[in-house]
Structure 1
Amino acid sequence: MNYSMMGKTDTMGANDMTRMTSLIMNLKLRNKLIVSFVLLIVLSTLSIGWISYLELKRAIVSEIGQSIRETLEQTMQNIDYKLRDIDDLYVKVIASKEMQAMLEATDVTPKISQAYMTNFYDAVYPVIFGGRSEQLQSVVIYGANGVNLSYNMPPAPNPSPSEVETTSVFRQAEAARGKSQWMFTNQNIFAGDKQGPKTISNVRKALALLTFKDWGLMMLNVRESYIYESYKNLISDMKAVTYIADPNGLIVSHADKSLLSTAVDPQIKALIMSQPKGSAIVRLEGTTYSVHFITSDYTGWKLVTMIPESSIYKNINMAGNTIMTIFAATVTLAVIFSVAISSGITLPLRKLLRHIKRVRDGNMDAKVHLGTQEEFGQLSESFNEMTEEIKALIAKVREDEKQIREAELRALQSQIKPHILYNTLDTIYWMTKTKEYDEIGEMTTVLAQFFRLSLNKGSETTTVAKEIEHAKHYLDIQKLQYKDKFDYGIEMDESVRDVPCIKLILQPIVENALLHGIRRMKYERGHVSIEARRSGEKIVLTIRDNGVGMDSGQIADILQQQRSDSAGYGAYNVQERLHLAYGKEYGIRYESEPGEGTVVQITIPGGHHV
């Protein structure tokens, strides 16, 4: 046994069950209610419908069986009545004076016998058997005195009484002692039971009316169609196959005339010969039949009907279809009502959820009023009170954050002022050592202008034009320091001049361009350019240099807070202040390759955002 495969199958089954449980648990409340209602109604309706179907099936089968048995009994009684009517012709035969004269005559010569035959054919038969042509196929009387009388019999030699006495038909009739016998035998009794087609025959010993003198053997051969007419329409609506079989299991009458005189199926024969009447389910040649039969007390014949099980179940299937239609209609109504009821139950909750989402999206003025006093109504009132409290708390938090942000901005800006002052004073100190007094004066003037713009009358905001002017003063200071090792250019759209922005965002980036780009150049003259352009709803300040450039690692490093060199007061400081002032969508973006220079873009809002 493959235990590993069994283990995998169990694991897969457990995983499927887990996923199904998770799916059900994650359904929305409305859907859970709908599923619960529908399942409850479907299972209840299905159970009731299935039990009803089984009971109905049992009742229909029982009723059909009872109806078939009653029909068979009535049909057999009609057939027996017809056969008894044929049997009653015997009385007319023995009461006929002409028949008495012919069958009691002695010394009968062939000529006399022929005259009797003509008289029987022309005069006696029409009187006794007239109007029976649809019932009787032929009539034959083998007289004990040698007179043989027949009507509609095939030509045959004129047998002697001793020859007739040797036949099995005669022996059976003699054993009956004058009682009629219904046989299924050959018209020609001399041919033997196993030769040629057989016919339905009423056979008996003819006895004189008063003297009981033996007149001989009388045979009345009945047409099979006369019997068939009695049951040909029997249960035709159920496609039944009906026939009559004799006690030997030979088919006496059948809709299919080619089956006459043939034996019934062994399985059927074993069934019908075992008891006088009954029913059973039999499967023949791939088809299942419900077999019903009854035995005639008069003839001993079996009236058999075989009904395809599918025909019996046709009415049951119709009933089943009706039940399924009712079931489908019930399920449909159940779904409709379940949706309506669950929607009504969950409508206040869904309305409350919509308002919760509005609050989540920032609409703190959203209020929900369900207009009910039940649990959902109480919940909505509690929700309204909670949103009011949250709104007040958010307002307080925002005010606190604003104050913290302003303090952080002031702290970051304060880092820049002494940094520039330290560097410039250091430069002036060395210039005094070399007695460059004109340059000292120029640098002192530029430094004063630089700090005048830095102080900005105590305001934390400035304009793009003043910020560029501030950067220009810084570049002038650095040109004096680096002895014209670089030059610079400034371009600004007129539309951006008066756009407000936070101060000290250009100078640190320009400083980085000089320190990390221009200062490291050995032979070439450096160049720094500043541009201010509008891009949609934003302002882009671009600083370009033709310095030594940087790789991606250096760019990432220059924006790190942990730097302790002068650049630590530069790019990171500006980036943080821009994020604090405008949000994460604004800030600095570097583009640089080693040996290709560096481009820095500072993006700020294009309106009155500050």
Structure 2
Amino acid sequence: MTLLKFIRNLRLRQKLLLSYVMVIFLPTIVLGLYAYQSSKSSLDSQFMQSADNEAKKVTLEISYRLQRQEMSMKSIAFHPAVIELMSNPNQDLYLQFKTLSDKIEPIFFNLMYMVGDMNEIMLYSESRQSELGNFISPSSAVKEKDWYLETKGSDTTKWWFEDGELFATRVIHNIEFRTVSGELYVRFDYNKIFGDFIGRGIEGNGMIITDRQNRPVLTEHVGQMDDVQLQSLSRKGTLKATISGESYLIVNKDIPQTDWILHYLVPDNQHKTGIGNILSATGIIVLICMVFLSIIIFLFSETMLKGIEKLNTKMKMVEDGDLTVVVSTNSKDEIGQLTDRFGSMLKQINQLITEVYQTKITQKAAELKALQAQINPHFLYNSLSLINSKALRIDAQEISDLVNQLSRYYRTTLNKGKQVISIQDEWTNVQAYIHIQLAMHNANFDVEFDADDKVFQFDMIHLILQPIVENAIMHGIDQKRGERGKLILRASLDGEDIVFVVEDNGVGMEPSKIARMLEYESDGYGIKNVQERLQLLFGSEYGICIHSQSGVGTSVSVRIPQYRHIREEES
């Protein structure tokens, strides 16, 4: 109560200043903060999506290269001569050498020296005790190797990087494919497989490829990392980490056909510059808005207070009147002083003067209301025109379009205070309203207009279609889930009548609710008021008809006669 009393006793100028701060400055600051946070969130999302896309490209490129080499290895492992030689170690030695020299070695030499990606090819035989030529050795020579044990238990190609050597292994089955007869070992030229990744960086981005033990296979454009940092790299998802004092966004991707992981590193400072620019721009815009609003508030306050003070001074001159009406107030501001002095004057005015004076007051109030009907729209239109010009000046086309729609909507809604409007203007009014609603709904529903041009030569009651469209959007389309909303407006001639139809694919209504909409104001959403106005002017045979199916949608038709209003000449 003490706070309310303090505010009530403030002078009018102080109250205006306080209200402007609460209504204008605080929302402006909040809007600026919201715009900054939204822009920052969008920039972060774009940054992470871009990093993810780049990581996918690198992963696919590496996978393609390894898969191409794997195809070459499969051509060896599944070659009939290789399978026969590995499956029959007891075959005549001469025939074995002949098979090796005539059928197998040419393939190996072609892959090693013609294609050039393979540095070494070895076949390890499970049943052989001695070497055969340069390409076949007994498996016992490598049975202690990690890759041998893991390869023997798998039917897929295994990729390895050990002691600076890049190689791949896979098993070779016997002729009947029932047991393992040996292993294929291929050592690759590291530089030819990964060479063009070395030295390649996209705007400072880096990459690390690690094997199943988190040992590095490739490290490019990244600072020095110790074993602890390597072991801490995640095998899934996206994370942030600090490497050599620099913060990175790390995108982790599995490399298909291998047990390797690509860690794609993007310096975190790449998008911090953009965030700083957004913060600076937001701060400047908010500051400019506050300065501009301060000037407008000052000019407006001075104008309004000056007029009230003049009115208060003039009313003191008639304070000795003789009216019996008691007028008083507990407020102590300028309006309170004005009311008290006006009440003192009224007590001294006699009954006859009171009646004449009240008549004049009523007349003046009507004149003032009529004047306001002309002045207020001009003020509104001029304000909207100012906003439009400023929007165009900063190339904000979307704001400009929305302001133009708002201007059309209020021009046709005010309609110079008249209750009758041309169908052309009523159609323009509802189109502008729908365009505004589309902007408010982020264009999440579709609109279709279908009007016979012949209807535009007639008139109708003002503001008939807009409440129906509002009802269709708020209580039909907005409540729909899943399917995209659609709104259809039609206008056509039907004999001597004109029929408007508003359809939506919203949630629909039960028949009982349709009846209540036309009978009770509480559930009518404005439909009952429209129905009463139509039937009051045109008769009970005209008005609204509603068809709806729950879960499917609603169709509202409005029938009016072909009506032309006789317009009086405006003075």
State the TM-score, normalized to the length of structure 2: 0.42
State the TM-score, normalized to the length of structure 1: 0.40
